[in-house]
Amino acid sequence: MRQNWVLQRFSEIALTFALMTRLPRPKLTLTEHIPVGAYVWAFPLAGLAVGALSGIALWLARQGGASPSLAALAALAASLIATGALHEDGLADFWDGIGGGRTRERKLEIMRDSAIGTFGAVALFLSLAIRWAALADIADPGAAIGALVTAHTAGRGLLALIPEYWRPARRDGLAAGMGGDWVRSAAATLLTIAIAALFSPPMLALAALVASAAAILAVGSIAGRYLGGFTGDVLGAAEQSAEALVLAAASVLLVR
C-alpha cells in the first residue's frame, strides 16, 4: 500500500515535469489517467528545478567574467530552454485574446491561434524586459540565484489558487482537468512557502508570496470577467506575471 502511494506521488511529479518543462524525467507506468488537478501540489517542484537551472546559468556566466546584465540574459535563456517557453507562449496568447476579441467566444478563439499579435508581442517583451532588468540590478550572484528560485517556485506553486476561485472556461484542454481541490492546493501553497523561506531572506520571501498571489489572482480576475473562467493560457499568463513581479520586488529589496 505504501509502495503504491509513493509510486503515485512520483508519477505525479513526473507528470508535472512533463507538463511544465522539457527536462528529462523518469518513465513511469501509470495505471490510470491522472488529471492535472491531482498533481497541482507538485507545481512548486517544477519551479524549484527551473529556478535552480536558471541560477546555475547565472552563476556560471558570472564566474566566466560576464557582467550582471549578460548573466541575467543567460539565466533567462536557461529558463526558456528548460520550459520550451511554455509560459511565455501562454502569456502572449492570453493578452492577444483579451485585447483582440470583442466577445468571449472570439477571445477564446484567438487564444487558440498559434499566431502572435500586437498585444501578445508587447506583453512578451515587457515580461522579458522586466525580468532581465530586475536580475541585472542584483549584483550579488547568491542573492540573484535565491531570487530566481523563489520567483519560479512562487509563480508556479500559487497557480493552485486559480481553480479555487474560477472554473475552466472550456470543457476540453488543460484547464478542464484542473478542478479545485483545497487539499492539494494547500499542499502546493505550503511547499511554495517552505521553498521561498529556504532560498530567500524573510522579507523577500514574504514579498514574493504576496506579489505572486496578487499577480495570479489579478490575471484570474481578468480571465473570469472576460473569458468566463481560466484556460491553460491563463495559467501561463499568471505564472509570467507572478515571476516578473517577484523579480521586480527582489531588485528593490536586495539593491537598496
DSSP β-bridge partners for residue 168? 230
Q: What is the pLDDT of residues 208-256, one digit of tens each?
A: 999 999 999 999 999 999 999 999 999 999 999 999 999 999 999 987 6
Q: What is the pLDDT of residues 36-88, one digit of tens each?
A: 888 999 999 999 999 999 999 999 999 999 999 999 999 999 999 999 999 99
Residue pointed to by grid coordinates 550579488 = 140
Question: Exposed, middle or buried by CB within 10 Å (0-12, 13-18, 19+), for 111?
Answer: buried
- Whole-angstrom distance, CA of residue 69 vs CA of residue 252: 16
Question: Exposed, middle or buried by CB within 10 Å (0-12, 13-18, 19+), for 135?
Answer: buried
Residue pointed to by grid coordinates 520571501 = 205
Q: What is the pLDDT of residues 169-187, one digit of tens each?
A: 988 777 777 776 788 899 9
Q: Among 173, 182, 187, which residue's Cα sits nearest to residue 90? A: 173
The whole-model pTM stands at 0.94
Q: Where are the beta strands (DSSP E) in the chain?
A: none
Query: Do 98 and 222 meet the contact criterion of CB atoms below 8 Å apart?
Result: yes
- Among 15-24, 104-113, 120-129, 165-174, the range scoring the smallest mean pLDDT is 165-174
Query: Do 159 and 220 meet the contact criterion of CB atoms below 8 Å apart?
Result: no
DSSP string, 169-203: SSSSSGGGG----HHHHHHHHHHHHHHHHHHS-HH
Count CA atoms within 13 Å of residue 146 on its CB side: 22
DSSP β-bridge partners for residue 230? 168
